Amino acid sequence: MTMPVRARWRGLPRAVRWPVLALVALYASYLLLGNLLLNTPLGPAALNRKPDKFSMHWGPAVTWWPGRLVLWNVDLQGHSTRNSWNVSAQRMSGQVRLLPLLHRQLLVPELHASGVRGGMQAAAPTPGAAATQAPATAPSTQVATAPATGAVGTPMPTQDKTFTSTSNAKVSAGTQPPTQMTDARTSTPQSAQVAQVSEPPAITLPTAPTWTLQFDRIVANNVQAVTLRQLQIEGDGQLQLGVFKQLRGGPMELFPSRATFDNARMRWDNSEVLRNGQLRIEASIARHAPEQARGLALLQLTDALVAVHGDTAALDVTRNAQGRHTVATRGGKGRADGELRWTRGALQPGSQLQWRAPLHDSTRTPAALLGELTAQLQVDQDIRLQVRMPEPADAGLTLDADLRVQGRQLPLQSMRSLLPRTSGHARVHWQLASLSWIPALFPDVDWLTLEGDGLVDADLRIDRGQLGAGSRLQVPHVRAHVGVMGHAIDGQASADLRVDADANGQLLPALVLQMQQFSIAHSDAPTRPFVQGRDLRLDLQTRADARNLATLRDATRAHLVFANARVPDLRAYNRYLPQQQLRFDGGNGVLSGDLQIEPGGRIGKGGLRIGARAARLQFAGLALRGDVDADLRLQRGDLRAENFRLDASTIQLRNIGFTGPDGQRRDGWWARIVLEDTHMQWRKPIGVDGRVRIQVRDLAFLMSLYARDRSIPNWMLRLVDAGQAQVTGRVHWQDETVIVDRLQARNERFQVDARLRLQGTQRSGSLLARWGMLSAAVGLRGDTPEWHLLRAPQWYQAQPDLLR
């Protein structure tokens, strides 16, 4: 007869019954407390200590064995300095090894999830971001200095970008104090950084080991959607991955993982990229510290395979409100097929990708189907890219390119460095996002920039990153900026680039830039132009022997030409004049230029022509009104000091009106000034020094500078009207000081010698006039002349010259 259960239990020895009762009680307590913690607010409250960094919420949950959990309706969210992420799952179950927790190791041998959706976006900056970072490091500095260096000197690592469902376990160590970095090379300087941003250093205390997270195998079935910033993937997905991460700036590793999507739909922003597709991704990332690889540099440690098969959208050529052609996606049936293998920064042989898409043209009425665009990428020992699109006679955009890149390495940090390895040809009629590379073809032409995008019509031969002979490029509309000697020339332009070669094969690029409309402003006031003009032309050409020049000064020839640009207000020139002695008070005029431009945007030689009608001027306090024409011929002197020779330059004054020395109004006066052996310093303070030769109608203007109080003798008044005279002298102008020395004016009837210094509001000088047997001298101090009628020549000769 079978014994009752209670009798059999009592029949057991006490040494067996008590341990069994203890285990049953312990297991019952675990079931009660564990499930109570999971199904009441106590669990989320204990886990979400820092909701601004990490939060996890779930619906029903159950644990039936220590370390094994099942959660439903799971939602995880996290935020780091650079990224914010979220993961949701309908069901999640897994096992956590308990003993390693005593050593601050979270080991999860296996984790299963279903109904998964996840995403990662760029973290939006908040006004309190800076304020929240400082308090975050405060608890660390209270524990020890070394943990604070990990928080301040080394940024917190961002959440794993491969799939964010692994982040639900990171919070288990997120509230622990940071631990000391093991890299001895960085600990000392990081500590110095902490000392600069924190309160007086805290006492160093022993710190706890760093938390380590390791998920050996995460299996996610029925993955519905994944978002990585602008990239969105929806479909029937499966994911299997493993990850290792040490918190507080420690290393991380992605174990060999894979993801597949059937019926995939891929979007970039709001544009559909793929539909009805199959995606397969396999990847692993070698163990590394955060400072060893960030951003794209992480791909240098990555092995991956990406396979894609599916339908794509069609393409549509459109024209925006500004008349610029763009290519956008539209409904249609394209096709993409390919498999790319990547190993530590290089594509692997056998990788290939093919894409074809119908091309529509909405710029026509009605919209037309142009044909099909095809693109093909093939990798053997080199990388070959072929792109072809239909080319009807009146197409708005066309493209036909066949390019080969030597080697398989891709410099992800700077794709421009691929150019020296690129050869092939390209025929392009396309809207390029940037045209700044065109001036870079010419040595040391940093003073020319082409801004913005532009429609380019080009036939390019490319040889190891350089344009080959026979290449041509035309840009009908581009914004151009030319910087010349402190002036900014801006305008809408067209550009025509051609590359020829000499008998030795030396490339000779030549660029013709024509501005239909342009403006000139001072570089320190670019928004206030003082010249408006049309039809400016800039020619650039590289010399055939540029490679043999010791310097680049003559490597590129630049020729700038414009004519009759309008100057609405002549007062804009006053910044180049000694305004207390000579300035424009009003009027308008024109400006023309024919200049050779040297490296650095300096004028080598050329000419500037300034014209003004009915201009109002002030010279030495004397008001003038009339016409001014200046023809300044510039010859390079000391280029670095910005000095020029102005030899053979002329200034003509016509129809000048002013008040003469007799107090009467004089009109119709004229003078023609020729500069000889004259130097000009362009750099401030602007200065001119040299000899002048002047032909004047009469001496009325000269005498007016010395005598304005009608104290002049009568015979000198007759001298003023004694006809034309030839004048020579030396002129020196520096900043606000103008000196005229050894001036001699003569004709067959008279002779005048003079010296004059104009400095600030003060005038000083001396003058000697001789007419036959008569002579008189006048000394000028301020506005009061001092006459010397006796022994006038001796008095004048006793006065010192003003210039050596």
Q: Which among 462, 468, 398 is positioned nearest to 429, based on CA atoms?
A: 398
8 Å CB contact between 614 and 588: no
- Confidence (pLDDT) at 364: 74
What residues have CB less than 8 Å from 634, skipping those under 6 apart?
Answer: 595, 603, 605, 606, 607, 608, 644, 645, 646, 680
- 183, 218, 240, 252, 343 from 281: Cα distances, Å: 34, 15, 10, 20, 14
Count of domains forming the chain: 1
- Pick the more confident residue, 291 or 690: 690
Question: In angstroms, rounded to a whole number, what is the distance separating the alpha carbons of residues 546 and 552?
Answer: 7
For 734-740, what is the mean pLDDT? 90
Tell me how far the alpha carbon of residue 166 is from its chain's centroid.
38
Q: Is residue 275 part of a domain?
A: no
What residues have CB less than 8 Å from 529, skipping those under 6 apart?
Answer: 490, 519, 520, 521
97-101, 552-556, 720-724: which range is least confident on average?
552-556
170-179, 218-227, 385-394: which range is least confident on average?
170-179
Q: Is the pLDDT of residue 287 over 90?
A: yes
- Reported as a pLDDT band with limits 50, 70 and 90, residue 600 is low
- Reported as a pLDDT band with limits 50, 70 and 90, residue 125 is low
- Reported as a pLDDT band with limits 50, 70 and 90, residue 130 is very low
DSSP letters along 446-514, please? TTEEEES-EEEEEEEEEETTEEPTT-EEEEEEEEEEEEETTEEEEEEEEEEEEEEE-TT--EEEEEEEE
Q: Is residue 116 part of a domain?
A: no
10-19, 370-379, 457-466, 588-597: which range is least confident on average?
10-19
- Confidence (pLDDT) at 640: 55
- Reported as a pLDDT band with limits 50, 70 and 90, residue 641 is low
Q: Is residue 508 part of a domain?
A: yes
Q: Is the pLDDT of residue 486 over 50?
A: yes
pLDDT digits (tens, 9 = 90+) for 150-175: 333 333 333 333 333 333 333 333 33
For 347-373, what is the mean pLDDT? 87
- Confidence (pLDDT) at 355: 95
Q: Which among 234, 309, 231 is positioned nearest to 265, based on CA atoms?
A: 234
- For the record, the structure tokens of 111 come out as 């984790």
633-647, 652-666, 693-707: which range is least confident on average?
633-647
- For the record, the structure tokens of 300 come out as 């240098």
267: three-class secondary structure by DSSP:
strand
Q: Which among 56, 204, 185, 87 is positioned nearest to 140, based on CA atoms?
A: 204
Mean pLDDT of the chain: 81
- For the record, the structure tokens of 540 come out as 């650039």
- For the record, the structure tokens of 689 come out as 């020094």
- Pick the more confident residue, 9 or 86: 86
Q: In the chain, what percentage of residues exceed pLDDT 70?
A: 82
- Confidence (pLDDT) at 553: 42
The answer to whether the peptide bond before residue 366 is cis (omega within 30 degrees of 0) is yes
Length of the chain: 804
Q: Is residue 485 part of a domain?
A: yes
Parallel/antiparallel/unpaired status of strands 302-319 and 352-361:
parallel
- Confidence (pLDDT) at 684: 75
For 435-444, what is the mean pLDDT? 76
The answer to whether the peptide bond before residue 685 is cis (omega within 30 degrees of 0) is yes
For 74-100, what is the mean pLDDT? 84
pLDDT digits (tens, 9 = 90+) for 312-326: 998 888 777 666 777
- Confidence (pLDDT) at 154: 33
Question: In angstroms, rounded to a whole number, what is the distance separating the alpha carbons of residues 110 and 549?
Answer: 69
Question: In angstroms, rounded to a whole number, what is the distance separating the alpha carbons of residues 417 and 421?
Answer: 8
- Confidence (pLDDT) at 207: 58
- Confidence (pLDDT) at 182: 36
Q: Which range is most confident: 447-451, 701-705, 729-733?
A: 729-733
- For the record, the structure tokens of 55 come out as 């939060």
Q: Is the pLDDT of residue 630 over 80?
A: yes
- 307, 328, 344, 420, 511 from 411: Cα distances, Å: 22, 28, 11, 12, 31
Question: In angstroms, rounded to a whole number, what is the distance separating the alpha carbons of residues 6 and 4?
Answer: 6
Q: Is the pLDDT of residue 233 over 50?
A: yes
Q: Is the pLDDT of residue 134 over 70?
A: no
- Pick the more confident residue, 437 or 112: 112
For 353-366, what is the mean pLDDT? 85
- Pick the more confident residue, 549 or 130: 130
Q: Is the pLDDT of residue 631 over 80?
A: yes
Q: Which among 243, 274, 348 is positioned nearest to 304, based on CA atoms?
A: 348
Question: In angstroms, rounded to a whole number, what is the distance separating the alpha carbons of residues 690 and 676?
Answer: 6
- Reported as a pLDDT band with limits 50, 70 and 90, residue 195 is very low
pTM: 0.65
35: three-class secondary structure by DSSP:
helix
What residues have CB less than 8 Å from 480, skipping those under 6 apart?
Answer: 448, 449, 450, 451, 490, 491, 492, 493, 495, 513, 515
Q: Is the pLDDT of residue 199 over 90?
A: no
8 Å CB contact between 137 and 148: yes
Q: Is residue 546 part of a domain?
A: no
From the number of C-beta atoms within 10 Å of its C-beta (0-12, 13-18, 19+), residue 482 rates as: buried
Q: Is residue 428 part of a domain?
A: yes
Q: In the chain, what percentage of residues exceed pLDDT 90?
A: 36
- Confidence (pLDDT) at 682: 78
Question: In angstroms, rounded to a whole number, what is the distance separating the alpha carbons of residues 530 and 487?
Answer: 11
- Confidence (pLDDT) at 663: 72
pLDDT digits (tens, 9 = 90+) for 691-716: 999 999 988 888 888 876 666 777 77
Q: Is residue 730 part of a domain?
A: no
419: three-class secondary structure by DSSP:
helix
Question: Within 10 A of 477 (CB to CB), how many other CB atoms are there?
Answer: 16
Domain of 517? 398-406+416-537
Tell me how far the alpha carbon of residue 684 is from its chain's centroid.
30
Question: Within 10 A of 332 (CB to CB), how many other CB atoms are there?
Answer: 16
What residues have CB less than 8 Å from 493, skipping those under 6 apart?
Answer: 477, 478, 479, 480, 513, 514, 515, 516, 518, 536
Question: In angstroms, rounded to a whole number, what is the distance separating the alpha carbons of residues 360 and 166?
Answer: 44
Q: Which among 224, 252, 241, 215 is positioned nearest to 162, based on CA atoms?
A: 241
Q: Is the pLDDT of residue 585 over 60?
A: yes
Q: Is the pLDDT of residue 408 over 50?
A: yes
DSSP single-letter state for residue 109: S
- For the record, the structure tokens of 88 come out as 């949701």
Question: In angstroms, rounded to a whole number, what is the distance separating the alpha carbons of residues 44 and 37?
Answer: 9
Question: In angstroms, rounded to a whole number, what is the distance separating the alpha carbons of residues 408 and 173?
Answer: 42
- Pick the more confident residue, 685 or 341: 341
- Confidence (pLDDT) at 121: 80
Residues paired with 474 in a beta bridge:
457, 496
Q: Is residue 743 part of a domain?
A: no
Helices (H), 52-167: 129-143, 145-152
Give the type of residue at 652: Q
- Confidence (pLDDT) at 638: 55
